[in-house]
Structure 1
Amino acid sequence: MDPWPFRHLVLRTPRLELRPDDDAGLLDLAEEARRGVHPPEEMPFGIAWTDAPPEDLGRNVLQFYWRVRATLTPADWTLNFLVRLDGRVIGTQGLTARDFAIGREVSTGSWIGLRHQGKGYGTEMRAAVLLFAFDHLGAGRARSSAHIGNPKSNGVSRKLGYVQDGTELLVRRGEATEDVRLLVTRDRFVRPAWELDVTGITECLDLLTT
C-alpha cells in the first residue's frame, strides 16, 4: 500500500488543478504569500499570520502546512489543496473534518494571492472541494466562516448556497471583530455548470471516511 496516497489525488475544474500540498508546491505557496494576500489595512483571517515579518513569513507558512499534514488521521484530518492555474500555485483550499465517519460534516478555508483575486477562482476552488466532499466522500453538510466585513468571501458563500448560522467574536490586531458562521447542506448547494474531474481517490478513502 502507498504510505501517502494523497500524492496521487487530483481535482480538476475548467481552469484550476487542486492537489494536496507537497514540499515543492509549498515553496511556491510561501512565495505567493510574500507577494501579498490582502491589502495591508485589512485582516481577513482569524489569526493574523500575514502580519509576520517578511523574513519569517515564508518559513511560518511551510511549518504550518507541514504540521497539519503530519497530524492527519481518519478521525481528524485536513487536506490543504494547492491550487494551480496553468501549473503555477496561486493559493490554497483547505477541507477539514473531525469524526467524519459519524458526522459527515466538513469545513473549508482558503486564500489566494492578491494578484489573482477578482477573477472567480475563489468560487471555483471552493466549489471543487464541496463537490469532492458531497459527491465523493458522502458529506451531508459543509461549514465556513468569514469576517463580517469580508465581501469577497461572503460573496463566494452566497453564490454556493450557504446560509448564515450565527456569529462569532474574534480579536484581530487587538480589536474585537465579528465573524459570520456559514452552513451549506448537500441539498442547498448551488452546483456549478461544470463537472469536477477527480483522480487518485480510491486509496485515500480509508484515511478520510472511516
Structure 2
Amino acid sequence: MDDLWPVAGLRVVSGDLELRYLDDDRLLALARLAQDGVHAPDAMPFTVPWTQGTPTEVARSVLTYQWGARAAVAPERWKLELAVLRDGEVLGTQALMASDFPVIRTAETGSWLGRRHQGQGVGTRMRLMILHLLFEGFGGRYATTSAFDDNGPSNGVTRRIGYAENGIDLIDRLGGLATSRRYLLDRATWDARPADLRPEVRLHGVEAAREQLGL
C-alpha cells in the first residue's frame, strides 16, 4: 500500500539492523514480544504503565496503541512507529513523533526493546538510525526525548549521543513521585558527533514519506 500510505514504505538500514513500518505481521510479533517482558518487575520506565497486567493484557495494550498510531499521520501531527528488526526478527519498536513539523522541524523519539534483546548495544544503534532519518531524511532541526532518573540505559544512550539536558518533569508514577529528565539535541551537535557514533545508514522510501508528511 506504499502508493496510498507512503510511510509504510520507509526503511532505515544499518548493518544487520533495520527499521520498518509495523504491518500486521510485525505488529503481532511485537505484541507477543511484549508478553515475554520489557523490563524488570520492580521497574517502570514508561509514563503510561502499559506493561502492567497479564501477558495477554500487555499484548492487547501494544495492539491498541499501535493501531491508533497508524492513523495518526498527517502534516500537522504524526507518529511513526517502526519495528526494529534483526535478520527478520522483531526486537522492539523505535518511534518518531511530531506536531507542526513542517514549521517547527522538531520531533520526539521513544522506544522499547524486548527484555531478552537488551544489553547488546541495539538501543544506541536504533536511536542513531531514527535520528539519521529525522535529520538527514526529514531535515529536522531538533530532536527531543525524555527518561526517568532511574532509567540508566536510556539516559546513558541519550547522553552519549550528545543531547543536552532541557529541564525536568515531576510525574505521578504508580502513586509515587518520579522525576523525568528532558533532553534536546540540535542539528549542529548531531553533525559534530564523533566517528564512533556515525554508522553507515541507508534510507529508503523517504521522498514519498516526505510528501505524505507535507515536507
2:166 equivalent to 1:165: yes
Rounded Cα–Cα distance in structure 1 between residues aligned with 2:31 and 2:124 = 22
Residue 122 (structure 1) shift: 0.4
Aligned to 1:146: 147
Rounded Cα–Cα distance in structure 2 between residues aligned with 1:34 and 1:150 = 21
Residue 209 (structure 1) shift: 4.0
TM-score, normalising length: structure 2: 0.94
Aligned to 1:181: 182
2:157 equivalent to 1:156: yes
Aligned to 1:114: 115
Rounded Cα–Cα distance in structure 2 between residues aligned with 1:170 and 1:65 = 24
Higher mean displacement: 4-13 or 32-41: 4-13
Q: Which amino acid aligns with 1:122?
A: G
Rounded Cα–Cα distance in structure 2 between residues aligned with 1:46 and 1:207 = 29
Report if the CA contact (8 A) 1:12-1:197 is conserved. Answer: yes
Residue 159 (structure 1) shift: 1.3
TM-score, normalising length: structure 1: 0.96
Report if the CA contact (8 A) 1:68-1:78 is conserved. Answer: yes
1:199 to 197, 204, 209: 204
Rounded Cα–Cα distance in structure 1 between residues aligned with 2:214 and 2:200 = 22
SS at match of 2:189: coil
SS at match of 2:209: helix
Gapped regions of structure 1 (runs ≥ 5): none
Higher mean displacement: 110-119 or 189-198: 189-198
SS at match of 1:46: coil
SS at match of 1:188: helix
Aligned to 2:32: 31
Report if the CA contact (8 A) 1:137-1:209 is conserved. Answer: no
* Counterparts in 2 of 1:209 and 1:124: CA distance versus 1, 3 Å: farther
Count of aligned pairs:
210
Residue 174 (structure 1) shift: 1.1
Deviations 1:119-147 (A, max 9, x none): 11000001001011111111010000000
Deviations 1:17-52 (A, max 9, x none): 101211110100001101110000000111110002
SS at match of 2:8: helix
